[in-house]
Amino acid sequence: MARTDDDTWEITESVGATALGVAAARAAETESDNPLISDPFARVFLDTVGDGVWNWYEAPELPREVVEAEPELPARMRSLVDYFASRTAFFDSFFLDATAAGIRQAVILAAGLDARSWRLPWPDGTTVYELDQHRVLGFKSSTLARHGAEPTCNRVEVAVDLRHDWPTALLQAGFDATAPSAWSVEGLLMYLPAAAQDLLFARVQELAAPGSRIGVEALAPNFADPDALAQRRERMERVQALMAKADPQRQVPRSDQLWYFEEREDVGEWLRRHGWDVTVTPADELMARYGREPAKDDEQSAPWNRFVSARRV
Ligand SMILES: C[S@@+](CC[C@H](N)C(=O)[O-])C[C@H]1O[C@@H](n2cnc3c(N)ncnc32)[C@H](O)[C@@H]1O
């Protein structure tokens, strides 16, 4: 589905469905033998919407002829679940460390189906602001309310488009720009044009008091490289064609068709220039820390992203 400057979505379509894809990976990890994270709500979301393209990563059994033609595909799919598990664990620790240091305002940018407001042990008095499009937030809160789940924090929904003037809505929702805050940017930047990314960080800068923290999943340095992009497209098209023959019911996710392949400023550098104390961890290092390994041949995808954590001094 082509992107436009003002596009909006349901949870089951376009960028909304990518939140279900992450939920599927979290459900698969939660239900695995040796899980790194526990997110029981991920399955609740998936049960509510039923089967769809988002189930791809949690059902790695592929038709024999597909595996014969693409022998490394199952390992690559498993490695993506490991990646999402490591990413989830990174942001869980990020928020727990921030609250242990006394921060009582968290802002989850592009919250999607992130259920941290229900599953993390937030200290009393913590407010978590969740920002995303209104139909995504509406699906999440109505599904979990029907399920009888209660947030473990003071959860505040801020329905916005992150390409538009979201700071006004956040302040109106009660956010205090004079007190320190902790921000997460997880699974978002590829869905924003480069100019919207710049504006996003400039706006955070206006709202983050000294002592604030930010955690960012930053894109791989070769994200917009035309050769890497061409190779990725070719590979995805090959897999799509194979699946269309072997199992036409099963769709192959193409979230790359929703990404903005544009050169961007390095997030760590940007934050350093703006007075933050920055630590950058390449994704393969983060995964190794958690005992997970990226697929060896996977040169162009998520395992080459970087995890940035920073404190404003
Ligand atoms: C891949 S999901 C990640 C969700 C969540 N951070 C997680 O890791 O589970 C991407 C999310 O970004 C949200 N998103 C992308 N662009 C957005 C925009 N311009 N405004 C608001 N939300 C946006 C989508 O609605 C979706 O929930």
Q: What is the pLDDT of residues 47-61, one digit of tens each?
A: 999 999 999 888 768
Mean pLDDT, consecutive 10-residue segments, the chain of 313 residues?
A: 91 96 96 97 97 84 91 88 96 98 98 98 98 98 98 98 97 98 98 97 98 97 89 90 90 89 95 98 95 71 83 97
What CA–CA distance (Å, rounded) separates 269 from 201? 12
Q: Do the Cβ atoms of 306 and 268 come closer than 8 Å?
A: yes
Rounded to two decimals, what is the model's pTM?
0.96
Ligand 1 proximity of 113 Cβ (cutoff 6 Å) = yes
Q: What is the pLDDT of residue 58?
A: 80
Residue 267 falls inside a structural domain: yes
Q: Does 22 sit in the ligand 1 pocket, CB within 6 Å?
A: yes
> Number of structural domains, the chain?
1
> Which residues form the domain of 276?
62-312
Task: For ligand 1, say whether the CB of 191 is within 6 Å of any of its atoms.
Answer: yes
Asked if residues 25 and 58 have their Cβ atoms less than 8 Å apart, the reply is yes
With respect to residue 47, please indicate whether it lies within any of the assigned structural domains.
no
For residue 52, tell me if it sits in a domain: no
Helix (H/G/I), strand (E/B), else coil: 166 = helix
Give the C-alpha separation, 71 to 89, whole Å: 29
CATH number at residue 230: 3.40.50.150
Is residue 4 one of the residues assigned to a domain?
A: no
Of 191, 192, 219, best ligand 1 pocket probe by most atoms within 8 Å of the beta carbon: 191
